[in-house]
Structure 1
Amino acid sequence: MALFERRLPVTANVLAHHHAARCAACRTLLVTLAHGDALPSELAPGALAPLGGGRRCARRSSVPGATWTPPEVLDGFRLERLLGRGGMGAVYLARDASVDRRVALKVCVALQPDAGTLASFATEARAISRIQHPNVVTMYRAGEIDGRPYLVYEYVDGKSLAELRPPLPWQRVLDIAVGLAAGLRAAHQGGVLHRDLKPGNAILSPDGTVKLIDFGLATFVGGGGTAPRGVREVVGTPRYMAPEVRMGESATPRSDLHALGLLLFELCTGRLPPARRGACAALLTERLPGIDPGFAAVIACCLAEDPLERFAQADVLCAVLEHVRRLVAFQRTSSVFPTPWTGPGFRQVSSPPPLF
């Protein structure tokens, strides 16, 4: 990441580019990072092969370039059109003939699916099956055809957050924040860390409901209904990784909340925050005159470099966001200032504004 953030010395920068020109695996890794795609475990820093002299090289990926084309009718689902394609599968709009409804069908399209791809589909199915919440996409079925897994989801006729054109009005971002935080709370209470929260992995329905999607890089920790513990593995999309995860430390609920903070900051301003994030609340207020200071402080708290200075759990964040939204609505209709938030999580907020 130092290469993309222009923090490498000139000599190291030249050596990195020269090596990538000769090494197909590292070149693939750089393209993945440049496009903002998720970083699978086989390309994670822990999976890099030694080059000597303390340097490391990405192992070659086993994902083939050619893809498998599914039949027009797949296990009773008639495929209508392609909705999107990723590194491990394709998503089709399909019709479930048994109940005559439209669904989104995600299927592995690799000619020879590798173990990592199969594991990702299995992980996603297990993760989604643990979560029942309006802000998380619903899975109807998981199956397999010709050795290739597929997942059937509710079809949400909306746009991913990546398709929106930020900066958005901060009031709209506040509504999105409430929904995403609620979805993360449901996931964490089920012992699931998302680990790849980004604009492309959340979809906004026409009625304004936001839903988390793509749990292919999720992991299972803790037990249902308990706060999940950390997991030491570097996967996800680098530009939305928490700093401690990028450095190889354990992923925790706080790292998911950091990714949420990055996403919200980007929706508000049209760009990610600077590498040094000590004054994010002031930066938001400067770039967005009129933004509620409590909402700016919530985003800044999620973005704290030290995980211990972030909200401890998603349910705390949900409570604070709901209070901010009620406060904002109250201020629109009354000149009386409501009672500041002093509920659970009060002490978890770093550098709190008067609201907390």
Structure 2
Amino acid sequence: MKFSASRNSDTCHRLHLRSIDNGAVSNPMTLKLPHTLGPYQLTERIAVGGMAEIFLAQEMNGGEFGHSLVVKRMHEHLSKTQSTRARFDNEATLLEQIQHPAFVQLIDSGVDNDIPYLVFAHVDGQSLHELPKRQPEQAIAICADLCDALHHLHTTVRVAHCDVSPQNVMITRN
């Protein structure tokens, strides 16, 4: 799952929570890049997790997005397991329910060669873990924004993130 949160204030931060299944993968399918997945050209592998691989991508044929995207592609060996596939599909359903300007929206989802994938806007930023130490006021503002995002998630979609960590909080450059 990939989320973001922002707060309109003097210290405007845009926070992005991402949960990319950071577990180890046994026998992940290694795609030769670039690779075509549906209408997307996968150009760079960002992360490999227990359930999926995350790629930078471009929509082919100059589609309406016209910028970098992020594609989460389920591991092929897991796509054949009904319970794991249902979990991935449930993730897409939950992401579609999050309608808040602070959250990175799910742009598209699909299935290519019987392997499901999710498409998100690319977040130009870095993780909270990668950021240099902040002044206390900045750290408090970031924490407040994070709390707002999680509160929205809990009260509107009624789901707990369960993987909030400095590595999974993205802050945009602007």
Specify the TM-score bucket, using the shorter chain as the normaliser: 0.7 to 0.9
1:251-306 alpha-carbon deviations (Å, 9 max, x no partner): xxxxxxxxxxxxxxxxxxxxxxxxxxxxxxxxxxxxxxxxxxxxxxxxxxxxxxxx
1:144 — aligned with what? 111
Native 8 Å contact 2:21 2:52 kept in 1? no
Q: Alpha-carbon deviation of 1:66?
A: 3.7
What is the letter of the counterpart of residue 153 of structure 2? Answer: A
Q: Deviations over 1:222-267 (max 9, x none)?
A: xxxxxxxxxxxxxxxxxxxxxxxxxxxxxxxxxxxxxxxxxxxxxx
Amino acid at match of 2:125: G
Aligned to 1:111, which of 49, 65, 77? 77
Query: How many angstroms apart in 2 are the aligned matches of 1:68 and 1:117?
Result: 19
3-state SS, counterpart of residue 90 of structure 2: helix
Structure 1 equivalent of residue 166 of structure 2: 199
CA contact (8 A) 1:88 1:110 kept: no
- Aligned position for 1:154: 121
| Counterparts of 1:161 and 1:206, CA distance in 2 | 12
CA contact (8 A) 2:78 2:84 kept: no
Q: Greater relative contact order (Cα 8 A, min sep 6): structure 1 or 2?
A: 2
Distance (Å, rounded) in 1 between the aligned partners of 2:96 and 2:70: 16
Q: Say if 2:127 and 2:166, in contact at 8 Å, map to a contact too.
A: yes
Distance 1:112 1:121 in 2: 10
Preserved contact between residue 22 and residue 48 of structure 2 (Cα < 8 Å)? no
Which whole-Å CA distance do the structure 2 matches of 1:154 and 1:112 have between them? 24
2:46 paired with 1:80? no
Identify the match of residue 121 of structure 1 among 71, 74, 88: 88
Task: Give the partner amino acid of 2:149.
Answer: G
Aligned to 2:55: 92
Q: Secondary structure at the match of 2:68?
A: strand
CA apart distance, 1:193: 1.8
Q: Does the C-alpha gap of structure 1 residues 94 and 201 become closer, same or farther in structure 2, counting only changes over 3 Å?
A: same
Structure 2's unaligned 5+ residue stretches are 1-19
Matched position secondary structure for 2:147: helix
Structure 1 spans left out of the alignment, 5+ residues: 1-36, 41-62, 208-356
Instruction: Tell me the residue number matched to 2:14.
Output: none
What amino acid does structure 1 have at the position aligned with 2:102?
A: N
CA distance in 1, matches of 2:77, 2:21: 21
Displacement after TM superposition at 1:38 (Å) = 6.3
Counterpart in the other structure of 1:177: 143
Q: How big is each residue's C-alpha offset from its partner over 1:25-75, in whole Å with a ceiling of 9 and x where there is no partner?
A: xxxxxxxxxxxx9698xxxxxxxxxxxxxxxxxxxxxx6424252771211
2:6 aligned partner: none
Aligned to 2:99: 132
Is the 1:64–1:111 contact (alpha carbons within 8 Å) kept by the matching residues of 2? no
Give the TM-score normalised by structure 2: 0.73
- Whichever residue aligns with residue 65 of structure 1, its letter is N
Number of residue pairs the alignment of both structures matches: 149
The change in CA–CA distance for 1:112 and 1:184 in structure 2 (over 3 A counts) is closer
Q: 1: distance between equivalents of 2:173 and 2:139?
A: 15
Could you give the per-residue CA deviations for residues 89-144 of structure 1, whole angstroms, max 9, x where no partner exists?
11111112321222111111343433453233222212211112233221111111
Distance 1:159 1:116, change over 3 A: farther
What TM-score comes out, normalization by structure 1 length?
0.38
Q: Structure 2 counterpart of 1:74, which letter? A: L
Q: CA RMSD in A?
A: 2.6
Q: Secondary structure at the match of 2:101?
A: coil
- Inter-partner Cα distance in structure 1 for 2:147 and 2:98: 14
Compared CA separation, residues 66 and 181, structure 1 to 2 (3 A): closer
The one-letter code matched in structure 1 to 2:138 is: R
User: What is the rounded CA distance, in whole Å, between the counterparts of 2:50 and 2:22 in structure 1?
Assistant: 10
